[in-house]
Amino acid sequence: MQDIMRDLHVKNDKRIVLLVMDGVGGLPRERGGKTELETAKTPNLDALAAEGECGLHLPVGFGITPGSAPGHLALFGYEPTEYPIGRGVVAALGIGFPIQPGDVAARVNFATRDEEGRISDRRAGRIPTEKCAELCELLSAVSIPGVELFIKPVKDYRAVVIFRGKELSDQVQDTDPQATGVKPRDPKATSAKGERTAEVAAQFIAQALDLLKDRHPTNALLMRGFAELPHIPSIQDRFGLSPVALAVYPDYKGVSRLVGMDVVENLEDLDAQAAALKDNWNRYDFFFVHHKYTDSRGEDGDFDAKVSEIEKVDRFVPKILELKPDVLVVTGDHSTPAVMRAHSAHPVPFLLHGGNLRPDDASEFGERSCTRGIWGVVPGSILIRLAMSAVDKIAKFGA
């Protein structure tokens, strides 16, 4: 369905702002009570919801809890199940590594092995991130002919390795045996295409083990989730938009780059994002503005702090409105109810304001109110079409 957009999209100078409060969807503290969004005082968002069109969206599907990358892919107009992003790529994007088409990335765990080479601890005693960074530095001495190699710390005992070179592929099995008391598996190719990469990975492991040999408890490493960048058509090609991302966190810049967005760097907070929005107002027609901390406070289980973050975003909204966007979409990439301290599968409220609006019964921006909106529960990937349609960026289908 999204494919017909390639033929139907129309360029004009109307501007769309997509404001994402990460993990905004929530749950009440006690059954039947108010959610975080319903609790927050959000006069600006409520006014937009009352005038605009509301609904709830499912980024991946009924009952499926979205990760951050799939959640954002949906908001950018892509069915996440059509573009699975492998673990290695997620790790690389997560640390802001500029992974390129053709690169192969894999997750690395530093681990402990005994004298016979059997894994005794798959996480090397959960070493701190600084120690991990030091080991990555050490392993950057590994040299493989014809391959450029990057190894970067992620968190604790986890790192990511990126191989760059010709004829690399993700068709390689994990070396992580997912158990202790056994030796790591070989990085075996799962198809002929993976043979060169399997060889590269084997060389990497051999040299790495040599460099790590006196470094108990971090004298081994395990690789998993070999992955290439998925072939995602750009948002320019697919939707004819000229997009820019205004995000603080590397993960969201990463997933924005994945669909071809320009990315403004060095944004520290909403004020900087507001300034960047203004600065770039004449250069683009699709602005993705991302606020992370609604999700962070949800993950912390801090209901009140999540409420505050939502209120902070509400106070930021007038700065967007000053610029007179033609359409403003406000939503999240998934729900992160504070009571669950985690992402959840609950549908995510959204509001769309601008263009010719069909009135509905949603009178404020909240989960229950959005249930009374015109759109009901829809796939997340269609929001971009609603926004484009509201400003005549989609041609009539058929005569």
Question: Which of residues 84 and 117 has its CB atom nearest to a copy of itself in the complex?
Answer: 84
**Contacting a copy of itself (CB under 8 A), which of 43, 61, 230, 301?**
61
Of the pair 187, 373, the CB lying nearest a copy of itself is at: 373
Q: What is the closest distance, in whole angstroms, from the C-beta atom of residue 146 to a copy of itself in the complex?
A: 30
Q: How far is the CB of 341 from a copy of itself (least distance, A)?
A: 11
The alpha helices in 96-158, defined as continuous H runs, are 129-139
**Residue closer to a copy of itself, measured from CB, 270 or 391:** 391
Sign of the alpha-carbon dihedral angle for 37, 42, 45, 47: positive
Question: For residues 144 and 339, which CB has a smaller minimum distance to a copy of itself in the complex?
Answer: 339
d(CA 170, CA 192): 11
CB 217 within 8 A of CB 124: yes
DSSP 166: T
The residues in 302-361 that bind a copy of itself, with binding defined as CB under 8 A, are 337, 339-340, 343-347, 356-361
Answer for the pair 231, 114: CB distance below 8 angstroms, yes or no: no
Of the candidate spans 53-61, 109-117, 121-129, 208-216, the one that interacts with a copy of itself by CB under 8 A turns out to be 53-61
Q: How far is the CB of 150 from a copy of itself (least distance, A)?
A: 19
Instruction: Note whether 10 binds a copy of itself by CB under 8 A.
Output: no
CA-angle at 174, arms to 169 and 176, nearest 5°: 155
Which residue shows structure tokens 């601890």?
121
Q: Considering beta carbons, is residue 35 or 44 the nearer one to a copy of itself?
A: 35
By CB under 8 A, the residues from 68 to 107 that bind a copy of itself are: 68-70, 80-81, 84-85, 87, 90-91, 94
C-beta of 158 vs 216, nearer to a copy of itself: 158
Residue 135 dihedral angles phi and psi, to the nearest 5°: -70, -35
Closest separation between CB of residue 86 and a copy of itself, Å? 9
Q: In what helix (H) or strand (E) does residue 306 lie, and over which residues does it extend?
A: helix 303-322
Closer of 63 and 181 to a copy of itself (Cβ): 63
Name every residue whose Cβ is closer than 8 Å to that of residue 150 and which is 6 or more positions away in sequence.
97, 140, 161, 162, 164
| Sign of the CA dihedral with 345 first, then 351, 357, and 361 last | positive
- The contact mask relative to a copy of itself for 17-36 (x = CB under 8 A, - = no) is ----------xx--xxx-x-
What gap in Å lies between CA 45 and CA 36, rounded to an integer? 14
For 222, 254, 322, the CA distances from 248, given in Å and listed in that order, are 31, 11, 22
Could you say whether residue 371 binds a copy of itself (CB under 8 A)? yes
Return d(Cα 68, Cα 70) in angstroms, integer: 6
Quick one: how far is CA 316 from the chain centroid?
A: 22
Pick from 103, 170, 314, 367: which binds a copy of itself (CB under 8 A)?
367
Which positions lie near a copy of itself, rule CB under 8 A? 1, 4, 8, 27-28, 31-33, 35, 50-51, 56, 60-70, 80-81, 84-85, 87, 90-91, 94, 337, 339-340, 343-347, 356-361, 367-368, 371-378, 382, 385-389, 394-399
